[in-house]
Amino acid sequence: MTRIRLVQDELRPPGPPSRRHLLSIADLDRDDVERLLGTAQSFAASLERHVKKLPTLKGHLVVNLFYESSTRTSSSFELAAKRLSADTLTVRAAGSSVDKGESLKDTALTLGAYDPDVIVIRHPHVGAPQLVARVTAAHVVNAGDGTHQHPTQALLDLYTLRQELGRLEGLHVAIVGDVLHSRVARSLVEAFRLVGIRCTLVGPPTLLPRELPAETTTDIDAIRDADVVYVLRMQSERMQPGSCYVPSLREYSARWGITPERLRPGQKVMHPGPMNRGVEIDPRVADSADSLVTTEVRSGLVVRMAVLYDVLTGGPVGVRALAAAEVA
Amino acid sequence: MLFWKNGRADTLTIRRAHVVDPTEKIDEILDVTIEDGVITRLGPSDPSRLEHRVVDGTGLVLAPAFVDPHVHLRTPGREDEETIASGTAAAAAGGYCAVLAMPNTDPVVDSAATLGALVETARREAEVQVGFLAAITRGQRGEELTEMAELADAGAVAFSDDGVPVASAGLLRRALQYASITGRLLALHCEEPTLSRGGHVHEGRVAAELGFAGYPSLAESVCVGRDLAIAAYENQPVHILHLSAKESVELLYRARAAGLRASAEVTPHHLCLTDEAVRSLDPNVKMNPPLRAERDRAALVEALRDGTIEAIATDHAPHAAHEKEVPFEDAPFGVTGLETAFAALYTHLVRPGLLSLATLLERMSAGPARIFGIERPRVAVGARANLVLLDLAREWRVGERPFRSRSRNSWLLGEKLRGAVALTIAGGAVVFE
């Protein structure tokens, strides 16, 4: 994981290594991914119990700083911290001093004054998590920065794939839709490469960046070869007015919408949410037994527990932690 | 992608014509037999089997019929100026077996519904095959892309905002990217509006003397340069409409030499006239782009000869008489051309020795067909007969016989030309004689 040097690091005597963050999938190697998925699985087992709370992070403070709307990510980070007995503090841009024009740096410094152990940040602009990591002493977890990265989404998708298909290496996933504006796709492409999943990007030529290290095609029929079809949302809010990426949502839907007719029987479908039913995904697909959408949400909780645990402890979930869980 | 009423399939033999098909490398006196619309025999005809019709081609040239990649059929909206029936009849009289119609009608061809209605009309009344281009942007307003995939499925042969440029470079880039899924070409009208604004006549000595606002060749070349750069960056093919300026030719030459799939067309009037013709103040020499200087004309002829420009397009633009019978500055841009193109070019370029007949025939037929991916008219056994019989000796005066077009805003009215179309066979049927 990234070790970002604090601005004031140079002034400090050599001490323990700088903090662990999760800012991008690029921060991880394959061992990191295996460890995180393994930790998540241990937590999943613990959640089967009658008492679902673990004392693991008791006394730690996790701050959720959300500058963009979010249902899944913010709720699962909050619940993940609570399941690990951490204190949580959720700050949303709307209704905070951000409305009064406070800069990200000043907000981060303010929250940093409470000595949080982890700051989880979502922000519409690329690089916001890096700034927070530079100006605070907390471990920083990127919950989505602009069109750049959403590493915990990619990890929870790997977790879901392994749970549902039993393996990662050798799978073939087609990512369909607005790749250009998708931080999820950027994280997934790197994550898939790390674990040996073949990845094909499918969509309108205007929404497929040619430079990503993945196969690309505009032909929707290419999804037939894939084990899993990963559907992306048309991110109208990130498109400049009049930028004309597609002539109409109607034509997008006719050409690239995921319908039952375009899928093989039994082909699994994923979507990071929120879905635009009837645009990128046919409601019949969204509600079918082959849709893994709610599984992804469930995976989100345990994977985010694993990430919080991992940045703070830097190791696999040990016997002690689980023993402590037993006691609790 | 091409539509017409597709009625008869004729049987006839054309005897002893001088057959010229540059692509098939034929240049000799032959008999050509057509049975049920298909060429079945090249060479001496079997006299015993000549119970069917025989046309004596002695002294005439038989060539692949012409393809016009750029006409305005004014339908829907201005059927008083041209209809699909009248425009295609004019095309047949000009030796054409196929024409491509521009979408700047009223309403603009920017939806599958509008295109579908045109296709239906063409199936009912088109004398020769018609391909319809659809608009690149809705209403040709340059703001939003049309539903290109659906339009291609509905039969659009290519896309163009002809009449106006795609002013936004960003939008043109998106259009090029998006059109790639349709396999259809973008045909671009290159004009930088902030440079051409208000201009009626090429910016040069003639405009200065006549007191006209100038429309500089720069207005075209700066846009050609931009559009070729965007196409090269996106590695997409483009077609440049009605090239008029020397600088544009040079840009096209360099782009092609660098490997870009860029093509262009030139009109008979830009090949035959210069802005000196505007001194007449005849609204029938007012068109967009305007007639340019001799250096431009010479560059266009040279580019046509060396193949940098692969196609001749009439930009046939009919206008109601009352709209052209106004002072020059008030007149709309555009001239007709379908019924005069071959004779004008034969008279002005081939006879003086500026262009070979074979090259002219190639640029009027195989060239445009190749660019737009439509079937190439050819003289070959097994091919559907798309042929034109030309009488190179005949002299005629433009306008002495009524035009088949509903409009008569020809830049050649009253001029004596050499070379006439004697017979046109399109899609296996005799459509003009």
Domains observed in chain B: 2-61+383-432 (2.30.40.10), 65-372 (3.20.20.140)
Domain match, A57 and A175 both: no
Domain match, A180 and A289 both: yes
Query: Are the C-beta atoms of A196 and A169 separated by less than 8 Å?
Result: yes
What are the per-10-residue average pLDDT scores of chain A (328 residues)? Answer: 50 49 93 94 90 91 93 93 95 79 90 95 94 94 96 98 96 97 96 97 94 92 96 81 82 96 96 93 96 95 96 60 41
Report pLDDT for A42. 93
Q: What one-character DSSP code corresponds to residue B383?
A: S
Report pLDDT for A240. 66
Nearest Cβ partner for B174 among A244, A250, A251: A244
Q: In which domain, by residue range, is A48 found?
A: 9-150+298-322
- pTM, two decimals, is 0.89
Domain match, A234 and A141 both: no
As a dihedral over the C-alpha atoms of residue B320, residue B264, residue B88, residue B335, rounded to 10 degrees, the angle is: 20
Helices (H) and strands (E) in chain A, counts: 10, 9
Own/partner pairs, B331-335, CB within 8 angstroms, 24+ separation: B331/B283, B331/B286, B332/B286, B333/B286, B333/B287, B333/B288, B334/B72, B334/B286, B334/B287, B334/B288, B334/B409, B335/B269, B335/B284, B335/B285, B335/B286, B335/B287, B335/B409, B335/B410, B335/B411
Taking CB atoms and an 8 Å cutoff, what residues of chain A touch B235? none
Report pLDDT for A7. 45
Q: Cβ–Cβ of B177/A205 closer than 8 Å? A: yes
Domain match, A139 and A159 both: no
Domain match, A65 and A188 both: no
Overall domain count for chain A: 2
Q: Cβ–Cβ of B181/A245 closer than 8 Å? A: no
Which sequence positions of B are flagged as catalytic?
315
Query: Are the C-beta atoms of B389 and B55 separated by less than 8 Å?
Result: yes
Q: Cβ–Cβ of B174/A251 closer than 8 Å? A: no
How many A×B Cβ pairs under 8 Å?
43
Q: Is B242 left (phi over 0), alpha (psi -120 to 50) or beta?
A: left
Report pLDDT for A236. 75
Q: Which residue of A has its CA nearest to B141?
A: A242
Nearest Cβ partner for A247 among B145, B177, B180: B145
Is residue A254 less than 8 Å (CB to CB) from chain B?
yes
Nearest 5°: phi and psi at A233?
-80, 145
Domain match, A232 and A218 both: yes
Query: Are the C-beta atoms of A161 and A296 separated by less than 8 Å?
Result: no
Structure tokens at B387: 């042929």
Q: How far apart, in Å, are the Cα atoms of B21 and each of B38, B191, B265, B424?
A: 16, 35, 20, 15
CA–CA min distance B235, chain A (Å): 12
DSSP H stretches of helix in A59-103:
72-83
Q: Is the four-CA dihedral B215, B216, B221, B226 of positive or negative sign? A: negative
Taking CB atoms and an 8 Å cutoff, what residues of chain A touch B134? none
Q: What is the CATH number of the domain that holds A201?
A: 3.40.50.1370
Report pLDDT for A4. 54
Structure tokens at B265: 């067309």
In the stretch 180-239 of chain A, residues with CB closer than 8 A to chain B read: 204-206, 218
Domain match, A123 and A38 both: yes
Report pLDDT for B344. 98
In a domain, A327, yes or no: no
How far is Cα B289 from Cα B296, in angstroms, rounded to an integer? 12
Question: Cis omega before residue B76 (within 30°)?
Answer: yes
Query: Taking CA A278 as the corner, what is the angle to CA A275 and CA A284, rounded to the nearest 5 degrees?
Result: 85
Domain match, A88 and A185 both: no
Is residue A97 less than 8 Å (CB to CB) from chain B?
no
DSSP line for A201-259: EES-GGG--TTSSSEEES-GGGGGG-SEEEEPP--GGGSPTT--SSS-HHHHHHHH-B-
Looking at chain A, which runs of residues are DSSP E strands?
Answer: 61-66, 87-92, 118-123, 139-145, 172-176, 198-202, 215-217, 228-231, 268-270
Q: State CA A318 to chain mean position distance.
A: 24
Domain match, A81 and A203 both: no
In a domain, A3, yes or no: no
Nearest 5°: phi and psi at B369?
-65, -40
Query: Are the C-beta atoms of A244 and B171 separated by less than 8 Å?
Result: yes
Nearest Cβ partner for A244 among B144, B150, B181: B144
Domain match, A249 and A270 both: yes
In a domain, A81, yes or no: yes
Those residues whose C-beta lies under 8 Å from the C-beta of residue B75, and which sit 6 or more positions away, are: B82, B83, B84, B87, B105, B118, B121
Domain match, A201 and A260 both: yes
Report pLDDT for A315. 54
Taking CB atoms and an 8 Å cutoff, what residues of chain B touch A250? 147
- Collapsing DSSP to helix, strand or coil, B397 comes out as strand
Domain match, A79 and A19 both: yes
Query: Taking CA A189 as the corner, what is the angle to CA A183 and CA A192, rounded to the nearest 5 degrees?
Result: 130
**Best to test chain B binding among A219, A240, A251 (most B CBs inside 10 Å):** A251
Which residues of chain B fall short of a pLDDT of 70?
45-51
Is residue A278 less than 8 Å (CB to CB) from chain B?
no
Q: Which residues of chain B approach chain A closer than 8 Å at the C-beta?
A: 143-150, 170-171, 174-175, 177-178, 180-181
Q: Which residue of B has its CA nearest to A204?
A: B178
CA–CA min distance B34, chain A (Å): 42
In a domain, A290, yes or no: yes
Is residue A241 less than 8 Å (CB to CB) from chain B?
no
